[in-house]
Amino acid sequence: MVDNHSADHDTECLRVLGEALNHLSGGFADLPSTQSAENPDALSEILNNVAERMRDNFPYQHPFYLGQMLKPPHPVASLAYALAMAINPNNHAMDGGRASSQMEKEAVRQIARMVGWESALGHLCGGGTIANLEALWVAREVNQHAPVFASSQAHYTHERCCQLLGVPFHSVPCDNSGRMDVQRLEEMLDGSSQATIVVTLGTTGLGVVDPLDQVLELRDRVPCRIHVDAAYGGYFRLAKNLEPATKRQFSLMQEADSIVIDPHKHGLQPYGCGCVLFRDPAVARVYKHDSPYTYFTSDDLHLGEISFECSRPGASAVALWATLQRFPLTVDGEFAQGLESSRTAATLLSDWIDQSPDFVRIVDPELDIVVWSVAADSAKESSMLAERFFHEAAKRNVHLAMLQVPKALAEVARPDLKWDRDTLVCLRACLMKPEHQEWLPRILEVLDSCRRDLFQDRSH
């Protein structure tokens, strides 16, 4: 069992939380006291049962876990969330969550500033799916039900959102590296000037960045609405060690009409924290409603008037606000350095793959995701060996993911393969944790031992 767990650290965190809870309850000291009838000791058995059940998980919190996109929340986020739960505010409206609504506005403003917007409209929501749905809904309303175009590597949520919205969806082919092929997009648009283009900055599978610069040039010729899905990659705008072409796409984000960034992906937040931003605050008109249930004490446009969801956890906003106090979104700050070290970890893993005769990399890692395949004669054999490698590494506590890469994409990296199936099972690592760089030598040691044990008898 991997042991990174420090009970002392947990105890210290709970002490800090206890102090803050006391401070918070002091604000309500003039109310008659209410004693909870619940005996905490009686909950112990249930909580231990929960702990037992939760041991079933992969160790998402540990640097040895590099499979799916899971990054643990920072303690400041978890503690602030727990603190807010003493109140359980609802950010649907000012009256349900006063301070937390204000904190949401402040936190969202900081994310908007990070992408270069001073007066954007935006708010938090349940996650990238809802955030993208909202952006595509607003696009539908201001863009006369125009069709949506997204690359074949875009998140599948876009196609599903379009089904919900009753808007036509078109999948645009990718180039050899998994980026949207903008020439093909232009052919598909065929001069029609009503379209919404989804540009993904950091695709979920391969972690590659669509050419926003080319889509912006296209917009000069063929007017269209541009939505940037940066649910995963958005914060990389702060990283200094990207390739120049990648950096360029992030530096152009402010030219889009709407942007989605998930604080619960790379922003150190518990799940349930997405963010949608609109460059033109006037799109607030799309949300307009006259609910008799909403509140009238705030002069300001309250969050319930500019968000699709109604009840939302104020605790999410509190956690994000607290995290931004600890990690301001600055180019040279500690948070940006964490992203840079993730990126460095990805290039180190990529170098290791390139040096190994047993592996073939699929694309150049652009952010912190690496996808690679196993050397073999056929796609079937390569896929089978990737699966074996995945299980062997998991046995030794290093957790990768498997990804089905379509033949059209994998073929470029693997012209050597006999293609006896339509997809290639590849190995994938998300090096999202800031400590992944420091841990990489130990991770590579484990991967190397798997490689030797599984592949030593093969001739190349």
Ligand X SMILES: *Cc1c(COP(=O)(O)O)cnc(C)c1O
CB of 116 to ligand X, least distance (A): 20
User: Please, which residue, 250 or 359, has the CB nearer to ligand X?
Assistant: 250
Report the distance separating Cα 147 and Cα 144, nearest Å. Answer: 9
| Alpha carbons 72 and 61: distance in angstroms, whole number | 5
Q: Give the residue among 437, 72, 447 at the shortest CA–CA distance from 241.
A: 437
Cβ at position 269, least distance to ligand X in Å: 11
Q: State how beta strands 359-361 and 401-406 pair.
A: unpaired
In the bound state with ligand X, the residue whose beta carbon lies nearer, of 312 and 414, is 312
Sign (positive or negative) of CA dihedral 123, 124, 126, 127: positive
The phi, psi pair for 245, rounded to 5°, reads -65, -35
For residue 294, the tally of other CB atoms under 10 A from its CB is 17
Residue closer to ligand X by CB (options 155, 302) is 155
Instruction: Let me know: does 264 contact 317? Beta carbons within 8 Å.
Output: no
CB-nearer residue toward ligand X: 149 or 352: 149
Query: Closest approach of Cβ 329 to ligand X, in Å?
Result: 19
| Strands, sheet with 196-200, edge to edge from the N-terminal-most edge strand | 121-125, 274-278, 258-261, 225-229, 196-200, 148-151, 169-172
Q: Give the C-alpha separation, 238 to 250, whole Å.
A: 9
CB of 28 to ligand X, least distance (A): 34
Q: Which is nearer to ligand X, 63 or 274 (CB)?
A: 274
Shortest CB 444 distance to ligand X, Å:
26
User: Identity (one letter) of the amino acid at 439?
Assistant: W
Q: Tell me how far, at minimum, the Cβ of 260 lies from ligand X, in Å.
A: 7
On whether the CB atoms of residues 283 and 142 are closer than 8 A, the answer is yes
Q: Report the residue number, 96 or 274, with the smaller CB distance to ligand X.
A: 274
CB burial readout 11-27, b (16+ within 10 A) else e:
eebeeebeeeeeeeeee
Closest residue to ligand X: CB criterion: 128
- Using CB under 6 A, list all residues that contact ligand X: 127-129, 132, 155, 157, 200, 204, 229, 231-232, 262, 265, 274
The full DSSP string for 346-401 is: HHHHHHHHHH-TTEEESS--SSSEEEEEE--SBHHHHHHHHHHHHHHHHHTT-B-E
Shortest Cβ distance from residue 69 to ligand X (Å)? 6
Provide the minimum distance between the beta carbon of 177 and ligand X in the complex, in angstroms, as a whole number. 16
Q: Which is nearer to ligand X, 232 or 372 (CB)?
A: 232
Measured from the CB atom, the residue of 206 and 349 that comes closer to ligand X is 206
For residue 135, give the nearest of 303, 273, 258 by alpha carbon. Answer: 258
